[in-house]
Amino acid sequence: MRIDQPDIRRNRTRLARACVLGSAAIALALTATGCSPDENSSATPSPSTPVVVTSTVTESETAPGTTDPTEVDSAAPVNPGTPVNTVTASATPKAPSGADAFTGAWVGHTRDMNLNADGTGDMSVSIGAADGEKWALTWSADSSGATMTLGEQISKHGEGLGDNSMHAGAVYHGVLVKDSQAVTYMQMAGFTAAGHSLPWCNQDKYGYSRECGA
C-alpha cells in the first residue's frame, strides 16, 4: 500500500499537537491541586497530620485573699528602668477605749497627773510657781469616764492651794471631750467646793488642746 508523504507529515503534526496539549493539561491539573514538580513534598506537612499544641500550667501556692506577686497585667507595658512603687494599705488606728483611753501622762497649766495602768497614780496642782500640792491617787474607768480618788499627800510647797480642794478622800470625775479643733482632752469636775472643773491634755494619745492652757 502506498502512503503519500504529505499524509505522513500531517499525521505527525497532529500527534505532536496532542502531546503538547496533554502535557499542558497535566501541568494545569497539578497547579490547581497545589502540587508542583519543583516543590519538595517533605517540607509541606500533610493535611491529614494533626497538630498538637501543649501548654504547661504551674500552680502557685498562694494563700487565699492574697495576690501572687508573679502575676503581671499583660495589658500594661513594663519598663525595666522604671522603679515599681509598692503601696501598702494600713488600717486606721483604733481609738483607745475603756481604761486605756485614760492611762498615761496628763498635763495642763501649772498641773500634771499620771494615771498608771495598774490603777495608781499621782496629781500635782500649783497656783503660780510658789504654792502647790502633790497627792497619790487611785483611779478606775468605766463607760461614763474616769474616777480619781486622792490618797496621801506626797509633797507641798508654799501655802499649798489653801482652799482644801485637795485632801485625802477627795473624788474627781473626768470625761473625754473634744475642742473646736477636734482635739480630745479630759474635763475633770469637782475639783473645788464650788464645783470648778479642770481641763487635762494627754499629748501622747490625743495631742494638746488650747483648753489646757499655755
Summarize pLDDT for 67-116 with one digit per residue, the tens: 454 444 444 454 555 555 554 444 555 556 689 999 999 999 999 999 99
pLDDT at residue number 102: 97
Residues 6+ away with beta carbon under 8 Å from 39: none
pTM: 0.56
End-to-end CA distance of the chain: 150
Percent of the chain with pLDDT over 70: 53
Angle at 167 between CA 208 and CA 158, to 5 degrees: 75
pLDDT digit string, tens, across residues 132-156: 999 999 999 999 999 999 999 999 9
Phi, psi of 147 (to 5 degrees): -120, 125
| Rg (alpha carbons) of the chain, rounded to whole number | 51
Lookup: cell for 180:
473646736
Whether 68 and 60 have beta carbons less than 8 Å apart is answered as: yes
* pLDDT higher than 60, residue 11: no
